[in-house]
Structure formats: structure tokens, C-alpha cells
Chains A and B, each alone.
Chain A
Amino acid sequence: MAAEKKDDKKPVKLPRTAKGKKPIYFDSTTDKLLSMVLTLMGELSVMRDRLDTVERLAEKKGVFKIGDVENYELSEEVNKIRTERRAAYIARVLKSVQDELDALQQQGDGMNVDLAP
């Protein structure tokens, strides 16, 4: 509660964590995962709103129409770029699953997982 002396050059940092015991709902790790998912859910919503603002401003200023986004047709080249980017993105997000799969496959004692369909 002791207030620091006012110093205009130094930005004030407000407290960010509430004092008090935090309940455990599932277990410590699952609780953190849920917080991460909900935070990402929020940030994705913020991003979508921002994109919406950009589209509406673009239309208002005559750059392009919002309908142009809906009617955008993929060229073969752009489709390829996006497909590669999407695959890398999925692999990055699911890396923890890949790590477990790699470990399973490296055990080599008859427990190797045959992934062939």
C-alpha cells in the first residue's frame, strides 16, 4: 500500500494478480490449459473484430468492398502457399502430440505404432 513517489517518466504498473488462494478445479495443469484456451478464445475474438474494422474502413475509403473478400478466388499459387502454411501451423500447435508419437515409435520393443491405414 506504500505509494511510490510520482515519476512521470516511469509508467505505473498496476497489480495484475489478485491476492487470495486460487481454487483447483481439475488439476493444476488442466486448469492452466483451460485458462490458455479461454484467453486464446478471447484474443481470436479481438483479432476478428479488428479485421472487421479493417474491412469496413477499406470499404468506406473505397479500397475494396467487403463482398470482394467473400468473392475472392484462390489462384493455384496462393492455394499452394496457404496449404503449406496451414500444415506448418497445425504441426506447430499439435507439437506436443507429435512428441508423444515420436517417443512411442522410438521404443522399438514391439510397441511401435503402425500408422498405416
Chain B
Amino acid sequence: MIPQNMHTMFAKPNHDEASRQDFVNDFRVHLAAKVFPGAFPAYFNRVLPSFIKAQGREPKDRHEVRKVMTKDSYYQLWSAMQRNSQEMIWDSVIDSVERQLPDLLEKAKDLNGKGSLTLNPNVIVPKYHDAADIHLQPGAYHTDSITDDLAAGAVYDRGTYIYSMGGLGPANDGLGRILREFFRKQFPDKKVERALDMGCTIGGSVTYWSTKETGTEFHAIDVGAPCLRYGHARAKAVGGNVNFSQQNAEKTNFPDASFDIVTSHILLHETSVQAIQSIFNECYRLLKPGGVMMHLDLPQVFGQNPLEGFLWEWEIYNNNEHFYGQLRELDLAEVAKKAGFDPAKFKIHQVASSWEDGQTPYSNENFTFPVYVAVK
């Protein structure tokens, strides 16, 4: 495995823990590069012909593909192994974090650095977040196992690195890099005094932003307290400058027209249709005139063929990403319009991912991340 950057808050694995994590990573690389591609010949050589023979036509959408592909023995075995590999990620990481938690809690207290942390125990974790543990991370991003807990954040930091097979870069900040590069290409001269990142978890992306846009006051919100505690400590450890607070992106306590940009990095697909509308409404309220909303997220179903559409939805049914299903077909232009944005100023951009070849579990093609952009 490509080494991840160490920092003070990083839960360093011991010999066997590191070896176990390396194995999970290498197993997932193998699944992605050597096993998953077989889904295509399995479909075109036997699943599709047998469907055509029975129905006299090709499957009309991803749902019909799903009905037949999930019965194919090759696909079943890949899918079952992929699911297991996901569970093995967390299992391999939790050992290190659990063992070192008392030390990590002490380190977090002693760290000096910039930024702030404001928690609000009255924040209710929304149902779309609490119904199932996202990505199978046990306890998800919000469960405290001890006072001032930050374990969920430490587990997330290492777990997502292994999940992406190092694809997000050694600092695990690839999504932040992608979105900031996009922003600076599109809006080279935009002056940003204040920025807000919604659904930041451990703030990997916003912390990266804060090291590049040093004249900007960065705020970041999430509902999960242990991730925010870890994120604040991590930001200090890597020289970031972010003001974290525990808030739901659907309704924040920031004043109207108080931000130049509002961002999110893969937040929307973890929320519901109603929540996405509320989040867009809130973005509109929070932006100054001329301010920019940017949500980097996973692809929608539009433009995908039935097989591709089906494969992209593996995470919905197998990795506790149930709410991604709601984003797949949502008319976001309409959502933006309802929120108050001028339809002429809403655009969906496709931004190249920095993931390396053969390291994507979803598709045999290099994929892009859509960025949903609106200017107030």
C-alpha cells in the first residue's frame, strides 16, 4: 500500500495491524483490477443473451439488469467478496484506534494550532444518517464510546484511505484538491473572505482548502461530534485553520449572506430528497450575492447505460449507501431553482477524478465527479 502521511493524530498501526491493513488494501486492489472486470463478460456473454432469449429484448433499465445480474454466480462472488473487504477495512483499522484511544485523547488536548471547535449536544442526528451505518463503519460518524471521543474520526481517516486504495492521495485530501482546482479554474479572481464546508466529517477536504486559501476564514459543519473533535485536532496537526461546529447543513446558525462560497464533498448522496432541498435552500440563504455553491458528489443515472447504472448502485444495496438512490434521479436544476437560484446560473460540471487506473471499484472507465454549481 502507498504510505499515508503520518501526523500527530494518526493512529499508527503496529506490525500485524499494518500487515492486516496492507492485506485488505491489496485484496481490494485485486478485486477492483482482476475480479470486478469479469462482470462485463458475465453480463454480455451469458446474462444478457439469456435475458434477450426470455424477453425478446434488452433490459430497459438498471433495475431490470439488477434482477438478473444479482443471480449470476460470478457477479455474486465478486459482490460478496467486495462486501467482505469493506467489513475487513474497518476491522483492521478499529484495532489500532481502540488500542491507542487514551493516547489520542491526550494528544488532542495538548495540540496547539489554529481554528476552533464548537459542539452542540442538542443537534439531532438525522434519520438518513442514523438508519444504517454509512459505508459499514461500525457506529458511523456520530457514535461516542467515551467522553470527548474522537475514535470515529480516527477510524474514518485510515478507513477511507484504505477504501480508496490510496486514491485520495497520501494526505487523504483528494476530493478537496479536485474541488479547489476546479473552483480556481472557473473563478480565478473570486475573492473569498468566508467559506463554509457542509458535512465535513473529519474535514480532510476543507483543511486542505485552508492551507491553500490562507486569506479565507473557513467554517466546517457536521452532525457527528467524534469526527469533528478528530477533525479539529487533525487540522491543527497538519497546519490547517478551520472553525468546526456541530450543525446540520439543512439549518445552520450562520447569518444570511455571510459566505462567499459554500461547498460540500460527497455529502448530498448521504442525505434525503427533502434534505437536499433544505441544504440548497440554506446555501442560497448563506451566500452573499455573487457567492458560489459547489457540491462535489457521485454520478447521477443520466447518461449511464443500464449495466453501468446497475454497477454504480452496488454501494446502495451492499455498503449502506441507501440514500444515494434518492440522488440518482433527482432533478437538481429544479432543486436549485426552488431554492432561489437563477436557473441560468446553475450548472453541472464533470470534473476528472485523480484516482489511478484500475483502482476504481465501480467502472472499467476513468470516471468523473459531478460538481453541482450555482451562483447567487
Contacts and interface: CB of A to CB of B under 8 A. Distances in A.
A59 to B, nearest CB: 17
Contact of A20 (B15, B97, B133): B133
A50 to B, nearest CB: 6
Interface stretch (B76-84, B173-181, B244-252, B299-307): B76-84
A46 interface: yes
A39 B88 CA distance: 8
Contact of B24 (A5, A18, A34, A42): A42
B133 A14 contact: no
B136 interface: yes
A42 B137 contact: no
Main secondary structure of the interface of B (DSSP, over half): helix
B102 A8 contact: yes
Chain B interface size range: 35 or more
A31 B87 contact: no
B20 interface: yes
A4 interface: yes
Nearest to A22: B83
Interface string B5-23: 0000000000110011011
Interface residues of A, number: 34
Given A14-B138, A14-B139, A3 B133 contact: no
B131 interface: yes
B231 to A, nearest CB: 18
Contact of B151 (A14, A39, A49): A14
B148 A6 contact: yes
Given A14-B98, A14-B138, A42 B23 contact: yes
A72 interface: no
B34 to A, nearest CB: 15
A6 B106 CA distance: 12
Interface string A1-38: 11111101001111111111101011000010011001
Given A1-B144, A4-B146, A25-B83, A17 B24 contact: no
B156 interface: no
B149 A3 contact: yes
Nearest to A36: B84
A98 interface: no
B91 interface: yes
Interface in A37-74: 38-39, 41-43, 45-46, 49-50, 53
Given A12-B102, A46-B19, 20 more contacts: A8-B102, A12-B149, A12-B151, A13-B98, A14-B101, A15-B143, A16-B138, A17-B138, A18-B138, A19-B139, A20-B322, A23-B318, A25-B79, A25-B83, A26-B80, A34-B81, A35-B87, A45-B19, A45-B22, A46-B16
